[in-house]
Structure 1
Amino acid sequence: MSKADNMLSILWLLRSGKRVTAQQLADELEIHVRTVYRCIDSLCASGVPIIADSGPNGGYRLLGEFIDSPLLFDSEEQIALVHASVFAQEAGYPFTDALARAVDKLKRYTNEEQLERINRHSMGLAVIQTPAEGRELELLQSLEEAAAHGESLKMEYAKGVDLSSSNRVLDPYGIVHWKGNWYVVGFCRLRGEIRSFRVDRILQLEEANLNFERPAAFSPKDFLLRSLLPNPLEAEMQVIVRIQGHEHALNEICKHWLFGHSILERKQPGEVLFQLEEQSLKTYVPYFFLPFGRSIEILEPPMLIDRMMEVSLEMFKHYEAMQKKMIGKDE
């Protein structure tokens, strides 16, 4: 048997609650006593609470509470863990190698019926995502490890529209996956405040040989969400947007993170009221609405209608110029 098989077998024998000597374990499993010692050491290193009692009636035994805990997952738990691993891998989970080993180990110690069921359910779930890979995975691993151990990092970061390089020391509080991108949230020692950074814009990370304590009850996820969503307290910067249209189009709009968090009222049938930042109506919102074409109608505000006309005209001129260029080449 492999070492993993021996370790699992020893664990099952110890679950009886009785003291068992190394020689007794070796005889039962038909392995050398030195193999037993190595397996016991590995089990202890992995966190299994094995107690060694010396003396004439001594031997190995498990801590009482551990004997009552389940060692294996039931079928539903196995399927749930495999499904969760699919989501994690497609999202670019930074420890994919360890995750793959864990799933392989889970499948290895199941019977044929359970394995067949796991494989059947695995084929029924797929996730389409653009996962992180290569260099970004290494950055995510470094950030997660630093956040767990409270270690500051020197970070070279590409900022702004021109992606100019800047250097700072960051206390990483945690990493967050949001809409296909990974972010790190932490205290920026250059600016003296908590900030979020896109991981794919990090050019380099180095140890800063500094330590930090993350604020109690701080949530990187909540911080990132608040920084991305409009601030309802800034009422003078908010504008009411009223839209009518086909239910399918309105449903798609409401699924978007920005519009979904900005709904004031969903009137049936076919009308929604949003409260959005005025600046977003001049920049992002018109380009998001453009693909919906005539399936939606903007009732207010007039400024958004004007901006939609400007954007549409810009697109018309862009493709008109493209068409002229292609005709010129053909001639």
Structure 2
Amino acid sequence: MSIVPMSLLDNVRLSNGSEYLKNYYSDLLRTNRSKALELINDQDIHFSTAYLLRPLLKQRSALDELNPLYQKAFEISEALSGKLSGQASLKAESQMRSAGECIVPALRWIVSTAEPEEGMDGKYEQLIDRCAAVLVRSLANTAMLPELASLIFARNRRGALIHELVWAFFEARSPESLVLLIQRLSSPHSADVKLAKDLLCFIPGISGNTLHSGSSLARFAFYWLQENRPFLYFTGESLHLCNKPMHYDVCKSARYLCRPVSVDSGKPLMRLNDDEEKLLAAFEKLPYNSQCYLADFSWQLYRRNVYQWRTWLVLPINEQAALAARWMGGFA
């Protein structure tokens, strides 16, 4: 991940702590208001720093002197802070969807510069969680998923709650974003590796694997994702429901028919014809292990020789299975 630049006020906070920052800025607002406003409007300032200074800005009637992006960010923080009922939350999200072009950059600034969170009040992490959820669920913005992934792993290293951020990350329903988790399998931080394994537990052989190095696990996971991407769908499971949710699954019948599926429903993107419907009905009567075996063989044969695959697919399913058992060694 690229290094996020910092402002002078960020450096003051990180070097001397939150209380020192607030005292320093309070004095500056009183003695040199124009300089104080110049510093708070720095294009590189982090939201975490600005959030700490907001009460001082409000006290000195300086909020209106912030640039439009930062003003919008503080409006968002007001709307999404504190206790929100389900109805109030939906209303706030609806207002943001119609809030104009500035809303996405403001939300992205909040989420991408949210770290570190030490010294913040208890409402701060909740605010970041809600901003991430609005970006992904309400505004369908997936461009900030790398920042969201970084935030998840940074919080996890500190032992902070990650349930809401993980939920927002997977609500993007973007299998391509799984690469961001796979990369953490080779992290030098053991907490990153463990979390990545837990979040990727739907990939066979990943969760609980202690026999292989992180780099070899990552290579295996990359390969698995390439193999199964056309047939992955979002299950809707989350950390709110269980300790190790299976966020994605592979549609075995689609892999057997070599038909890509919708990530939302797991249904084929194109309507099946009558012959495919009959094949599907026969396939779904097979035991689970037989389905896995036949689906794997079908997909491999399809990519190797589509003409052989078409010839094979029109056979009765018991003959398909017999030929698959005979030929499978050739794909090893």
- Shorter-chain-normalised TM-score: which range? under 0.3
Q: Give TM-score scaled by structure 1 length.
A: 0.25
Please say which structure displays the higher CA radius of gyration: 1
TM-score normalised by structure 2 residue count: 0.25
Identify, as 1 or 2, the structure richer in helix. Answer: 2
